[in-house]
């Protein structure tokens, strides 16, 4: 089966693009589209996010810090509905000029600090609290795996996930191209985890926190429809061991439902302001 041939014009015109499912939010320009202030809470850390894999990274990190006894890591989490374009409000764009979740405002120091990009947020929090990032010779290994994940995510989500699950039409070439890359990435992780309990070594770290929300949903079969079967994810037994092990951590169970707006009501926590917000939720 061959895809319909496409000859690119000399100059690309965004007005000719259908856009598919994301047509209402995708534009080739940056910046705010409306004046809209962000809500704020009482804690030093103000998180604006959604429970996509990139958003879950940060809420799991906060919950892990709290679980480890860092009480100063209390945070307020507000949902940004990216399907509705809330990431283009002026308040959010002030925090993240790239208009992507998650974005963090850290008010714990003398001056407020904005942090955007999920990997940057994890690194910022790890350094601030001195947790989940080693200071010995294994630090470089952890950071290498962290940035491996940051570079891999677009191939999994915007590549495979888009063409396999979201694109208005299915085409063989892009699906095959990104399926190949996702399986290669799973194999990279599987070979590493055959030798090491965690990605960075013997200790759980921000490398695992960053990677788990992307790989675990494939293991569980809860992302991109039938992707688990299509990609034969059962082949990666070491990834499954690792994903299931992290999935049993209390902080991971809490963090994965923060800012979730889909599924059963008892698995959603649209806003999070204290540990009491988890009462009655299915973790």
Contacts of 17 (CB under 8 A, 6+ apart): 23
Give yes or no for a contact between 280 and 274, defined as CB atoms under 8 angstroms apart: no
Q: Are residues 242 and 150 in the same domain?
A: yes
Give yes or no for a contact between 251 and 241, defined as CB atoms under 8 angstroms apart: no
Q: Are residues 239 and 104 in the same domain?
A: no
Q: Can you read off the two tokens belonging to residue 59?
A: 């809420």
pLDDT digits (tens, 9 = 90+) for 230-242: 999 999 999 999 9
Whether 26 is covered by a domain: the verdict is no
Whether 112 is covered by a domain: the verdict is yes
Whether 29 is covered by a domain: the verdict is no
pTM higher than 0.75, yes or no? yes
**Backbone phi, psi, residue 9, to 5°:** -70, 170
Q: Are residues 149 and 179 in the same domain?
A: yes
What is the pLDDT averaged over residues 203-221?
98
Whether 31 is covered by a domain: the verdict is no
List b or e across 53-77, with b for residues whose CB sees 16 or more CB atoms inside 10 angstroms. bbbbbbbbbbbbbbbeebeebbbbb
Q: Are residues 262 and 127 in the same domain?
A: yes
Whether 166 is covered by a domain: the verdict is yes
Q: Are residues 193 and 222 in the same domain?
A: yes
Containing structural domain, residue 206: 139-247
Report the DSSP beta bridge partners of residue 45: 75, 106
Number of domains, the chain: 2
Q: What is the CATH number for 203?
A: 1.20.1050.10
Q: Are residues 241 and 158 in the same domain?
A: yes
Q: Can you read off the two tokens belonging to residue 209?
A: 């926190």
Q: Can you read off the two tokens belonging to residue 225?
A: 């429809």
pLDDT digits (tens, 9 = 90+) for 54-84: 999 999 999 999 999 999 999 999 999 999 9
Q: Are residues 86 and 177 in the same domain?
A: no
Q: Can you read off the two tokens belonging to residue 153?
A: 């995510």
Q: Are residues 143 and 242 in the same domain?
A: yes
For residue 2, what pLDDT band results from cuts at 50, 70 and 90? low
Q: Are residues 123 and 262 in the same domain?
A: yes
Whether 14 is covered by a domain: the verdict is no
Q: What is the pLDDT of residue 3?
A: 57
DSSP string of the chain? --PPP----SS--GGG---GGGTTT--S--S-SB--PPP--SSSEEEEE-SSHHHHHHHHHHHHHHHTT-GGG-EEEEE--GGGTGGGBHHHHHH-TT--S-EEEE-SSSS-EEEESHHHHHHHHHHHHT-SS-SSTTHHHHHHHHHHHHHHHHIIIIIIIIIIIISSS--HHHHHHHHHHHHHHHHHHHHHHHH-SBTTBSS--HHHHHHHHHHHHHHHT-SSTTHHHHTTGGG-HHHHHHHHHHHTSHHHHHHTTBT--SS-GGG-BS-B-SGGGGTT---
What is the pLDDT averaged over residues 167-173?
92
Q: Can you read off the two tokens belonging to residue 202?
A: 């013997």
Q: Are residues 109 and 157 in the same domain?
A: no
Whether 209 is covered by a domain: the verdict is yes
* Total length of the chain: 283
Q: What is the pLDDT of residue 232?
A: 98
List b or e across 134-146, with b for residues whose CB sees 16 or more CB atoms inside 10 angstroms. beeeeeebbbebb
Q: Are residues 231 and 262 in the same domain?
A: no
Q: What is the pLDDT of residue 282?
A: 96
Across the chain, mean pLDDT equals: 96
Q: What is the pLDDT of residue 21?
A: 78
């Amino acid at each position: 089966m061959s895809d319909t041939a496409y000859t690119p014009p000399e100059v690309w015109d965004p007005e000719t693009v259908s856009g598919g499912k994301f047509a209402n939010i995708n534009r080739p320009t940056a910046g705010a589209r409306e004046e809209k202030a962000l809500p704020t809470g009482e804690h030093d850390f103000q998180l604006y996010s959604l429970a996509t894999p990139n958003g879950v990274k940060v809420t799991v990190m906060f919950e892990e810090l709290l679980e480890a006894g860092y009480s100063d890591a209390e945070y307020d989490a507000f949902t940004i509905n990216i399907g509705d374009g809330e990431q283009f409000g002026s308040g959010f764009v002030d925090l993240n000029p790239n208009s992507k979740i998650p974005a963090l405002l850290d008010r714990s120091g003398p001056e407020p600090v904005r942090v955007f990009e999920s990997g940057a947020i994890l690194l910022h929090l790890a350094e601030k609290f001195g947790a989940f990032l080693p200071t010995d010779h294994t630090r470089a290994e952890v950071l290498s795996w962290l940035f491996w994940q940051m570079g891999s995510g677009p191939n999994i989500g915007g590549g495979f996930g888009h063409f396999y699950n979201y694109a208005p039409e299915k085409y063989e070439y892009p699906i095959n191209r990104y399926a190949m890359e996702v399986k290669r990435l799973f194999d990279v992780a599987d070979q590493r985890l055959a030798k090491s309990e965690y990605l960075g070594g013997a200790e759980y770290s921000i490398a695992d926190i960053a990677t788990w929300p992307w790989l675990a949903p494939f293991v569980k079969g809860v992302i991109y429809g039938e992707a688990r079967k299509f990609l034969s994810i059962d082949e990666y037994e070491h990834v499954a061991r690792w994903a299931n092990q992290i999935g049993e951590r209390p902080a991971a169970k809490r963090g994965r439902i923060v800012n979730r707006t889909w599924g059963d009501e008892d698995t959603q926590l649209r806003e999070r302001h204290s540990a009491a917000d988890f009462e009655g939720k299915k973790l």
